[in-house]
Chain A
Amino acid sequence: MSKKVHAPAIASTLWGDAWRRFGQHRVALGCLVLLIVLVLSCVVGPFLSPYSYSNQNLALGPTPPSFAHWFGTDMLGRDLLSRLLVGGCVSLGVGLLATTIALTIGVSWGMAAGYAGGRLERFMMRIVDILYSLPFTLFAILLMVLFAEPLQTKLHQLQWDACAPYGRLFLLFLAIGAFEWLTMARIVRARTQELKNLAFIEAARSLGRGPVAILWHHLLPNLAGLIIIYATLTLPDAVLMESFISFLGLGVQPPLTSWGDLINIGANSMEEYPWILIFPSVFFAATLFALNFVGDGLRDALDPRASRGND
């Protein structure tokens, strides 16, 4: 690696610095590119592919990778690449929505607790502690088992047939989001506590701004870096959780699919047709790997202080 001297084009803004630091982290940058390619192909790919993810071709059956089917076909003769791309959309989409939910709840909870202080704060964080110690995976599974079918029936009753297959997805990201917000709440609370005693908050308060305005206009922008970091670290967790539930057969239902579901199908026929297991596993592991590295890189870039402590 040759060391070039960069002329500081944008003198040194917070985000400019962060972007420069992120660029120096070669592995993270490579992972970001990989992720972008992956997401784009998952979104655009199904439209370009000559095969549908759900059309069965029982006469064809399982075939190894070939020019016609790059990743081969599955037990029912469906093109594996098309299914992988659609599954990726579902896995990443559910992960993204769940992360958004976790973000919204976690940030508001943590900011409110940290800013309120005193007994209210202790009470709110005690709730987080208690929820932390519960087997949430079990609750997520319970939620799916109990409410997925009634929700689907309800949607059919309301004549919203088009939405019915997505009822399960909705429940899935609700269940995951309800679980993932706890870490975010803890981290945001800790930083809010530090920030709220600084002079600029004092100034805003003495100018007569209300608590909501202070939280929204003064604290939130200062928490942005932290929130971005932990959002990227929550995303792989959420994707993992979705695949975990789908792997057990409790998440998405056929013909819709997700990476966990594909790995499950592959594991059932791996002795004779190993490619049905290997391709989804590689895609999934690579995505998790890339997401984790991008999260680490962002942490180094946006919060150099925290990453030095971790090393």
Chain B
Amino acid sequence: MPPLLRRALVGLLEIIPVLWVVASITFFMARVVPGGPFDRERSLTPEAAEANMAYFGLDQPLPVQYCHYLWNLVHGDLGPSLQNPGWSVNELLAQKAPISAELGLWALVVALVVGVPAGVLAASRPRTWVDYAPMSLAMLGICLPTFVLGPILILVFGLKLEWVNVNGWFTASDRILPAITLGLYFAAFLARLTRGSLLEARQQDYVRTARAKGCSPTRVLLVHALRNALAPVVAFLGPTIAGLVTGSFVVESIFQIPGIGRLFVEAALDKDYPLLIGVTVLFATLLLLCNWFADLVLAYLNPKARLE
């Protein structure tokens, strides 16, 4: 079997036990807590509460509940939501996922389109203002968390200048501010990363050779050096996607976007356990797959890593 394929299969198989551990930990975390999710609803009579517990299967012994839960999980069934009557967790997630995915995609576009060129620009004239200006901005971008940047952008561009609408997720212009808020940190990080690895690549022998053979400086930078400098950027894409996922909690809350992030925060405040578990398991799966994929791409790009 080719080593790359072997690596892909082994990595995929390793994900399964990890997911099992995640699912079990979240399940037992939610169950060892004293007090059920319906305790706060005073209006429920004891009989109604009991009926409720029976309906959701919460009156069964713990091992039975656990087996039941795992069995359903293997079949892709995350159970009914406690606080959204009539909705299953699957339906809720299926409805919200496209919105979050779109937000994440736009943010990724911002991160790549702003971050990588800014890094290239800074590396093209190191230690001049062409370098310092974007890098100072990048430092600022790293120090401004989403929940500071978001409200300030809304205040300036939404409420004072009134350029864009700030609540909801309807028109194309609604995408701009959330995507910038979510993507800017990663744009800043990618800019620093690209600059660093490009400066390193410029000192390599093959760059000197290319220059000696008469390549223009721009061509050397963009064609010869950049191609090799992008490996760390690719390696960082796994963590970036993870960060975009968690960052979306805040951004979706600030901008009132009906995605999974806001669903999770609402579920947390309402103690909707099945929904919390469902989102956690879904995100864990997503992150593990992203990391698996990033690992494969790196192995493909770097023959040294392929042999390890």
The 4 closest A-B pairs by CB, nearest first: A267-B151, A289-B143, A135-B283, A137-B246
Q: Is there contact, CB below 8 Å, between A133 and B142?
A: no
> What's the nearest-Cβ distance from chain B to residue A256, in Å?
18
List residues of chain B with CB within 8 A of the CB of A271.
Answer: 155, 159
> What's the nearest-Cβ distance from chain A to residue B245, in Å?
7
What residues of chain A have their CB less than 8 Å away from a CB belonging to chain B?
130, 133-135, 137-139, 141-147, 149-150, 153, 240, 243-244, 247-250, 260, 263-264, 266-267, 270-271, 274, 277-278, 281, 284-285, 288-289, 292, 310-311
Q: Is there contact, CB below 8 Å, between B145 and A240?
A: yes
Tell me, yes or no, whether B52 is within 8 Å of chain A by CB: no
Q: Is there contact, CB below 8 Å, between B151 and A145?
A: no
> What's the nearest-Cβ distance from chain A to residue B173, in Å?
19
> CA separation between A247 and B247, bound complex, in Å?
12
Tell me, yes or no, whether B269 is within 8 Å of chain A by CB: yes
Q: List 11 A-B contacts (CB under 8 A).
A: A138-B279, A146-B30, A150-B35, A244-B147, A250-B265, A260-B147, A267-B147, A267-B151, A284-B148, A288-B143, A292-B142
> CA separation between A135 and B288, bound complex, in Å?
9
Beyond the given pairs A135-B246, A142-B280, 12 more chain A to chain B contacts, judged by CB atoms under 8 angstroms and listed by A's residue number, are A130-B18, A133-B18, A134-B18, A139-B280, A142-B30, A142-B276, A144-B268, A150-B34, A240-B145, A277-B155, A281-B152, A284-B148
Closest residue of B by beta carbon distance from A309: B200
Q: Report which of A134, A145, A264, A281 forms a contact with B271, defined as CB distance below 8 A.
A: A145
Q: Is there contact, CB below 8 Å, between B276 and A145?
A: yes
A134, A260, A264, A285 interface centre (most CB from chain B within 10 Å) = A134
Q: Is there contact, CB below 8 Å, between A248 and B265?
A: yes
Specify the main secondary structure of chain B where it touches its partner. Answer: helix
> What's the nearest-Cβ distance from chain A to residue B250, in Å?
6
Q: Is there contact, CB below 8 Å, between A146 and B29?
A: yes
List residues of chain A with CB within 8 A of the CB of B143.
Answer: 285, 288-289, 292
> What's the nearest-Cβ distance from chain A to residue B268, in Å?
5
Residue interface mask B1-36, A partner, CB < 8 A = 1: 000000000000000001000100110011001110
List residues of chain B with CB within 8 A of the CB of A278.
Answer: 152
Q: Is there contact, CB below 8 Å, between B145 and A243?
A: yes
B145, B250, B253 interface centre (most CB from chain A within 10 Å) = B145
> CA separation between A311 and B123, bound complex, in Å?
11
Q: Is there contact, CB below 8 Å, between A274 and B147?
A: no
> CA separation between A165 and B109, bound complex, in Å?
43
Specify the main secondary structure of chain A where it touches its partner. Answer: helix
Closest residue of B by beta carbon distance from A131: B18
Closest residue of A by beta carbon distance from B155: A270
A141, A240, A278 interface centre (most CB from chain B within 10 Å) = A141
List residues of chain A with CB within 8 A of the CB of B250.
Answer: 244, 247-248
> CA separation between A285 and B142, bound complex, in Å?
10
> CA separation between A124 and B145, bound complex, in Å?
32
Task: Report the tally of A-B residue pairs with Cβ distances under 8 A.
Answer: 113
Tell me, yes or no, whether B249 is within 8 Å of chain A by CB: yes
Q: Is there contact, CB below 8 Å, between A270 and B154?
A: yes
> CA separation between A135 and B287, bound complex, in Å?
7
> What's the nearest-Cβ distance from chain A to residue B196, in Å?
6
> Chain B interface residue count: which class?
35 or more
> CA separation between A201 and B87, bound complex, in Å?
63
Q: Is there contact, CB below 8 Å, between A138 and B29?
A: no
List residues of chain A with CB within 8 A of the CB of B159.
Answer: 270-271
Closest residue of A by beta carbon distance from B268: A145
Closest residue of A by beta carbon distance from B290: A133
> CA separation between A284 and B155, bound complex, in Å?
18
Residue interface mask B120-133, A partner, CB < 8 A = 1: 00000000000000
List residues of chain A with CB within 8 A of the CB of B284.
Answer: 134-135, 138
List residues of chain B with CB within 8 A of the CB of A135.
Answer: 242, 245-246, 280, 283-284, 287
Q: A145-B268, A263-B151, A267-B254 are in contact. Are A311 and B276 (CB under 8 A)?
A: no
**CB contact list, B64-118 vs A, under 8 A:** none
Q: Report which of B33, B147, B254 forms a contact with A146, defined as CB distance below 8 A.
A: B33
> What's the nearest-Cβ distance from chain A to residue B175, in Å?
20
Tell me, yes or no, whether B229 is within 8 Å of chain A by CB: no
List residues of chain B with CB within 8 A of the CB of A137.
Answer: 246, 249
Tell me, yes or no, whether B189 is within 8 Å of chain A by CB: no
List residues of chain A with CB within 8 A of the CB of B140.
Answer: 289
Tell me, yes or no, whether B144 is within 8 Å of chain A by CB: yes
Q: Is there contact, CB below 8 Å, between B246 and A277?
A: no
> What's the nearest-Cβ distance from chain A to residue B165, in Å?
14
Residue interface mask B240-257, A partner, CB < 8 A = 1: 001001100110011000
List residues of chain B with CB within 8 A of the CB of A240.
Answer: 145
> CA separation between A292 and B138, bound complex, in Å?
13
> What's the nearest-Cβ distance from chain A to residue B272, in Å?
10
Q: Is there contact, CB below 8 Å, between B148 and A270?
A: no
List residues of chain B with CB within 8 A of the CB of A284.
Answer: 145, 148
Q: Is there contact, CB below 8 Å, between B246 and A263?
A: no
Q: Is there contact, CB below 8 Å, between A270 and B33?
A: no
List residues of chain A with CB within 8 A of the CB of B35.
Answer: 149-150
> CA separation between A250 and B242, bound complex, in Å?
21
List residues of chain A with CB within 8 A of the CB of B191.
Answer: none
Closest residue of A by beta carbon distance from B292: A133
Closest residue of A by beta carbon distance from B280: A138
> CA separation between A204 and B242, bound complex, in Å?
44
> What's the nearest-Cβ distance from chain B to residue A18, in Å?
23
List residues of chain B with CB within 8 A of the CB of A250.
Answer: 265, 268-269
Tell me, yes or no, whether B264 is within 8 Å of chain A by CB: yes
> CA separation between A278 and B155, bound complex, in Å?
10
Q: Report which of B139, B147, B152, B279 forms a contact with A243, defined as CB distance below 8 A.
A: B147
> CA separation between A13 and B26, bound complex, in Å?
51
